[in-house]
Structure 1
Amino acid sequence: MVSTPGRTARAVAAPAVRQVKLGAYVTFEGRAWQVTAVAGASVRLVDEHGQTASVLASFLFADPTFAVVDSPTAGVPPWGLLEAVPDRERERALAWQRHIREIETGLPGGPGSGGIPRPEYDPERRSMAEREQAKADELAALGWPRVSRATVRRMRARYHAGGLMGLVPRRKPTRATGRADERVVAAVLEALRRQRGRSRGTLKGLRELTGQILADTHGPGAVALPTPSTFNRLARVLADPLEHPGRPARTATTTPTRPLRPTVALRPGELVQVDTTRLDVMAVGEDGRPVRPELTIALDVATRSVVAAVLREESTRAVDAALLLAEMAVPHPARPGWPGQLRLAHAAVPYTRLLALDSRLEQAAARPVVVPETIVIDRGRVFVSAAFLAACETLGVSVQPAPPRSPAAKGAVERTFGSINTLFAQHVAGYTGSHVLQRGGSVEDEARFTVAQLQELLDEWVTACWQHRPHDGLRHPVLPKKALAPNEMWGALLGASGYVPLPLTGADYLELLPVRFHPVTGRGIRINYRTYDHACLNEHRGRPSPTGPGGRWEVHLNPHDVRQIYIRLPDGCLHEVPWIHRDHVHAPMGETAWRHIRAAVNRRAGRERHEADLAEAADQVLRHARPQPAPAAPVAAAAAGATGPQTADDHAQAQDSLDAIEAHAPDADGRPADSDELSLPTGRFALYDAFKEAEHW
């Protein structure tokens, strides 16, 4: 007889060891054979047509089609299940095993255990029926209840079919709801569903609602409502632990929670997780007011590297998500003033070989450059927008939405947000804390950095701290006990995955901007009370677009810098069209600042609302929002209460403010218009001068 490890046979469920012995049927080379002889390492086979073959056992077992057909298998008893059986039932099953062995072999320990069989159980003197009857009489005399010969035969059959576990008493599987009526269970689930999102109540109110559902469904009195104690137990079983009355209501769920499967990525860019959250820091907005910016990051799962991070004053837009792709796919430039250690040349990567592939890495920061293969997103409208999906399709990126209500699907990026708040945000002026109980009393007054300055700080922190900080989730197979930093893991994986540069030109960035469609009129292009005009529009004024919907022209607009737009003309290229008052605004201006200026100027009753005034007001707000240098001595003296006359510089500064623009504009009552609509927080950007303030009253 030859034994071989089990292979895939016709009976897939057959486990353990298969035996090739005389008379056994096997499949070899796609045909059925019967074993007629086993001589040493050779096996002689004969098929159904009488043809014979003699092969080596190793060659037989190595055949891909080899399988043993209808061969008995020796299973391993489920000792783990037996340990879960109550002690009394396990001892009873072991006792039955000894009795059955004595009936069949004459010895309680089985064959080979030694000893002499008792006369009534000697297989050479007694038949099987006599031995079964003798065992039934013996057990009855010992006090075992309801034991007969039929009982002994049934226990023997169960032992041969299921082994030792077959001797354990079988119980019907119990339901979580016990013996409750299925109609009542359905009514309780329906009552819990109706309570979703409502204010929490009591179990008594839930019981009354269940009674109404039963009466409406099956008729009054057709189904009896359980007693209050039974109903309370049933409601606690069916409801989610946080759903039953007394706690916040939630939807009842009857499906088990899915097992947690950790996300595994083996090469940079294989899987990138993107998400957005509010940063726990107050910053200075474009209009000078304190705001809490929104942070969007892209995390490479294989290296745990923050390959892109974007801070925005308000909610993240589709253009931010699209430009996030471009930021992670091209080298991140090192900022002026950064120490040399933050350049890629000093990182633990094969810099010389990378520089030969991509010359842009010479001035790059020490952060990974990855072209994502798959991006995991939530179902936010920014990431499912047409602009973001089109950008992913352009770059050949697969988009994988995370399952709803499954934060573990993006566990890596969610945990990174917590690390950023812990390691970075709490050390920045204006830190708000993780919740209101940790928030200080004057957080808004501590806001010191603009969103752009905070972006610079965050980029430098990611490059200097996060990318060089050991991460417990990064382990290399060669060094399993050493936690690697994200840059070290990137360098280790570059040898297996390689590096392919993705060149992006300025035209590519323009293509990633959000698309709008507008007509070209005689005055140019009008967008949100702004007029854009250029000589390149002359031959297209008043004419429909040959490709745009409704004859409108394709326009690309960056919502974070509205001073120019880009229009696609019939030559297929995007042409820049400036705002007619772009020269009045000397800094990038977003839609947020524009809406604030327009709303404030529109409140000035009795004055002509003109686009040029809006442009001048926007420029002044941006100037005031910019942090001011330390005041000179004369200005400090004036702030301290000096009563001398104002200097020419003071007068020029007053005329340069937005309030000076509106100083002679009367309101509806004929009085000078108030200048506090666009006033900025004092004490942070410029010193308060009481004499200047008095001139406006």
Structure 2
Amino acid sequence: MAGRVLRPGDRILFDDAEWTVTAVGEAVRLVDRTGASQVVLLSYLLSSTGFELLSGAPTPVAPRLEPAGLLEALPTAVVKEARAWERHVLEVQTGLLPGAQQPRAGFDPQSTTLEQREEAKATELTAAGRRTSAVTVKRRRLRYRAQGLWGLVDHRHTRPSSPYGRVDERVVQAAREAIAAQAVQSTGTKSRLRRQVQEAVIARFGEGTVPLPSARTFDRLVDALSTGQHTFGSATTRRSLAQRPEGAFTRTVANRPGELVQIDTTPLDVMAVFDDGVAGRVELTIALDVATRTICAAIVRPRATKAVDASLLLARMLVPEPMRPGWSTALSMAHSRIPHSRLLELDARLEQAAARPVIAPEAVVIDRGRVFISETFVRACDRLGISVLPAHPRTPTDKAIVERTFGSINTLFCQHVAGYTGPSTTHRGQDVQARTVWTVEQVQELFDEWVLAGWQVRPHEGLRDPHLPATVLSPNEMYAALITAAGYVPIPLVGEDYLELLPVQWRRINADGIHLDHRTYDCSDLNPLRRQDSGISAKDGRWAVHYDPYDLSRVWVRDTRAGGWVTVPWTLHHLARQPFADFTWRAARQIVTQRGGDDTDQAAIAAALERLLTRAGEGPARQRRTAARTHSAPSHLPHTAAPEPSESSPDEEQELAQIIPFGVFDPTAEEPYR
């Protein structure tokens, strides 16, 4: 391969002086005009600043490597023609055809010059019916010398063809804008799109100014412009693709359990039976740990997930999942890949725990739904020391892992549950409600068991051992591997912590009790607090009243004087003996209003509420759904009556529970995961 060569006799510029090269090796001897000489390393000479070759033999440019990939993309006839020319050029250049032993007459380099061989080749090709001049042969020889076989290719076939053909660029731009506008429109046809483009071109450039393509050409143009955009497919997929951010995708990385947890809610493709027999779809909220892909906690609710549900989801993450009656012992943490014996020394709560890791989140990624940006949820995260990271608006890729997990749940769990609806109405079977047999509580129970028996032990393609990349790990195995390095610190929660997570209203304690949304709460324990100032000047002396939106039969008042909490029942709870939610109360008030009554009359509302809950099956479908949602939304706290005065003496000693101290995790003593 010929290239730039430094030879004896060449004149060069070095150190701002002219020199003549007299010898070349690892070192170069240089002589100037006065006869003075010096020896310089060749590598130092060539890399020095200001070095320049002033004169010397012309050096040919090094040939380029042939683009083999482009050659494979050419038509077979074009490559065949180039290879035929290669034989002719090689014979002109060397005097021998490929594979020949002796030169043919007129091509012997010993008796002919290069120009004579070019003339002979042109004459030969012309006589064979391919009119060719010596200039053409020379030009092809030089191109072959510089580019190889690629230089002999007919480059009319290498020019990239326009995907839009000869369509006017103004029409292409209008079509591109119209296709982008389809993201928020209902799915239409190409004929509608063609009419929109035609109207846009006429409005912008005038009638008859821009030539419009034929219908078939326009269809080919649309196919080229709409690739991968689902312009004429699913509207939901099209909107999702339109929200995809531009630029390269980056992988979400977490190196320890709890470092990053993604939380989201989605309608589950399963119908559940409510207490009165009404069937409806439920909603699933999960917290997914990015590092281990563990479903840390999950809550199944009717289509009315509240901020308190999201807050209690955090609380469920921090406590072990207890083994339940009927579960196989294989689902216990003691029989899992999790290092149970070592963790049990640190957290005694894990003794009868199921095989679900207890992960304390450091940061949670949420969307901007009102459930997750509510004061209740943000306050809960602040109390638990968790950073809240809201996703960017209309950017589902910010929490792509939990979004993808929902798809896996539909495939691995939902489609096997009686009452499966399919991802859309077009996939729904006939009379799904008739085959719906599980209640909301039972769906929750089934999902919790599936998480332990299916998800946590199933190998996940996103989990790989860094030392054995070919090994795919399950969430429990990944947790066992990471907890050895990251450590484990238990965060115990007591009953009062759950009360702290409930939403709060600030109210005064009057002589007749506490008024909350036209309900009155009262009991004898409020006697020391009636008409008293709470001492919280920021709230004008009002008291903090916490309530459960799914059970309004009682509230909890924080006693800022003596400390602790006061449980206060609703005064008319005996008229509506079943627990009821806030949306049930609003529905009862609406019934009273429709009957011409006073929607602030507690007795009338309580009577309507009792009829709504006990005879919901006889009312309109909307009222049945309201009652069913009430029945299927279990309270987060045990149903206890208002506290009665204690019969024991204040001096009477009470037996205290044993306090179990928590330890500190020692990574060096951790047993390896199996």
Q: TM-score range by the shorter chain?
A: 0.5 to 0.7
Tell me by how many angstroms 1:182 deviates: 0.9
Q: 1:349 aligns with which of 324, 338, 348?
A: 338
Q: State the distance in 1 between where 2:578 and 2:566 align.
A: 18
Partner of 1:164: 149
Q: Does 1:460 align with 2:444?
A: no
Partner of 2:414: 421
Tell me, what secondary structure is at the counterpart of 1:312?
strand
Tell me by how many angstroms 1:86 deviates: 1.3
Q: Does 1:596 align with 2:590?
A: no
For structure 2, the 5+ residue unaligned runs are 9-22, 29-37, 44-51, 54-60, 632-674
Q: State the distance in 2 between where 1:566 and 1:595 align.
A: 21
Tell me by how many angstroms 1:132 deviates: 5.0
Give the alignment's TM-score, normalised by structure 1: 0.64
Question: Given the superposition, is the C-alpha separation of residues 411 and 465 from structure 1 closer, same or farther in structure 2, using an over 3 Å criterion?
Answer: closer
Tell me by how many angstroms 1:529 deviates: 2.2
Q: Does 1:152 align with 2:142?
A: no
Give the alignment's TM-score, normalised by structure 2: 0.66
Contact 1:100 1:156 in 2 (8 A): no
Q: State the distance in 1 between where 2:569 and 2:276 align.
A: 20
Q: State the distance in 1 between where 2:528 and 2:26 align.
A: 93
* Worse-superposed segment, 303-312 or 474-483: 474-483
Tell me by how many angstroms 1:191 deviates: 4.5
Q: Does 1:92 align with 2:85?
A: no
Partner of 1:363: 352
Tell me by how many angstroms 1:224 deviates: 2.6
Tell me, what secondary structure is at the counterpart of 1:321?
helix
Please give the per-residue CA displacement for 1:334-365, whole angstroms capped at 9, x wherever unaligned: 33565544332222322111112222212322
Q: State the distance in 1 between where 2:301 and 2:211 align.
A: 60
Partner of 1:331: 320
Q: State the distance in 2 between where 1:208 and 1:339 align.
A: 64
Question: Given the superposition, is the C-alpha separation of residues 330 and 129 from structure 1 closer, same or farther in structure 2, using an over 3 Å criterion?
Answer: farther
Contact 1:514 1:556 in 2 (8 A): yes
Tell me, what secondary structure is at the counterpart of 1:179?
coil
Question: Given the superposition, is the C-alpha separation of residues 152 and 505 from structure 1 closer, same or farther in structure 2, using an over 3 Å criterion?
Answer: farther
Tell me, what secondary structure is at the counterpart of 2:551?
coil
Tell me, what secondary structure is at the counterpart of 1:296?
strand
Q: State the distance in 2 between where 1:678 and 1:105 align.
A: 95
Contact 1:524 1:537 in 2 (8 A): no
Q: State the distance in 1 between where 2:404 and 2:302 align.
A: 25
Partner of 1:560: 550
Tell me by how many angstroms 1:367 deviates: 1.1
Q: 1:180 aligns with which of 164, 167, 175?
A: 167
Please give the per-residue CA displacement for 1:634-659, whole angstroms capped at 9, x wherever unaligned: xxxxxxxxxxxxxxxxxxxxxxxx99
Q: State the distance in 1 between where 2:330 and 2:324 align.
A: 12
Partner of 2:58: none
For structure 1, the 5+ residue unaligned runs are 1-17, 24-34, 44-49, 56-68, 626-657, 660-672, 686-697
Q: State the distance in 2 between where 1:431 and 1:562 align.
A: 32
Amino acid at match of 1:311: V
Over aligned residue pairs, what C-alpha RMSD do you find?
5.6
Please give the per-residue CA displacement for 1:176-201, whole angstroms capped at 9, x wherever unaligned: 11111011222334445566665666
Q: State the distance in 2 between where 1:432 and 1:85 align.
A: 50
Q: Does 1:487 align with 2:472?
A: no
Q: State the distance in 2 between where 1:400 and 1:136 align.
A: 74
* Worse-superposed segment, 318-327 or 518-527: 518-527
Question: Given the superposition, is the C-alpha separation of residues 196 and 570 from structure 1 closer, same or farther in structure 2, using an over 3 Å criterion?
Answer: same
Please give the per-residue CA displacement for 1:614-640, whole angstroms capped at 9, x wherever unaligned: 557757877899xxxxxxxxxxxxxxx
Partner of 1:321: 310
Tell me, what secondary structure is at the counterpart of 2:550?
coil
Question: Given the superposition, is the C-alpha separation of residues 295 and 220 from structure 1 closer, same or farther in structure 2, using an over 3 Å criterion?
Answer: same
Number of residue-to-residue matches in the alignment? 577
Question: Given the superposition, is the C-alpha separation of residues 616 and 254 from structure 1 closer, same or farther in structure 2, using an over 3 Å criterion?
Answer: closer
Q: State the distance in 2 between where 1:318 and 1:330 align.
A: 19
Tell me, what secondary structure is at the counterpart of 1:292?
strand
Amino acid at match of 2:389: V
Tell me, what secondary structure is at the counterpart of 2:299?
strand
Tell me, what secondary structure is at the counterpart of 2:552?
coil
Q: State the distance in 2 between where 1:103 and 1:280 align.
A: 75
Q: State the distance in 2 between where 1:474 and 1:272 align.
A: 16
Tell me, what secondary structure is at the counterpart of 1:297?
strand
Q: Does 1:215 align with 2:202?
A: yes
Contact 1:22 1:37 in 2 (8 A): no
Contact 1:323 1:512 in 2 (8 A): yes
Contact 1:238 1:254 in 2 (8 A): no
Q: State the distance in 2 between where 1:261 and 1:164 align.
A: 41
Matches within 5 A, 1:202-601: 206-239=193-226, 268-269=257-258, 272-285=261-274, 289-300=278-289, 303-335=292-324, 338=327, 340-372=329-361, 375=364, 377=366, 380-385=369-374, 387-388=376-377, 391-392=380-381, 395-397=385-387, 399=389, 401=391, 404=395, 410-423=403-416, 425-426=417-418, 438-439=428-429, 441=431, 443=433, 447=437, 449=439, 451-468=440-457, 486-506=475-495, 508-514=497-503, 526-532=515-521, 534=526, 538=530, 546-547=537-538, 556-565=546-555, 578-581=568-571, 584=574, 588-601=579-592
Tell me, what secondary structure is at the counterpart of 1:399?
strand
Q: State the distance in 2 between where 1:337 and 1:201 align.
A: 53
Tell me by how many angstroms 1:566 deviates: 5.7
Amino acid at match of 1:328: M
Amino acid at match of 1:320: D
Tell me by how many angstroms 1:87 deviates: 1.1
Q: State the distance in 2 between where 1:125 and 1:679 align.
A: 104
Please give the per-residue CA displacement for 1:4-45, whole angstroms capped at 9, x wherever unaligned: xxxxxxxxxxxxxx999999xxxxxxxxxxx98669xxx9xx
Please give the per-residue CA displacement for 1:461-514, whole angstroms capped at 9, x wherever unaligned: 433454445667766578888876543443344445543434445555445444
Question: Given the superposition, is the C-alpha separation of residues 398 and 178 from structure 1 closer, same or farther in structure 2, using an over 3 Å criterion?
Answer: farther
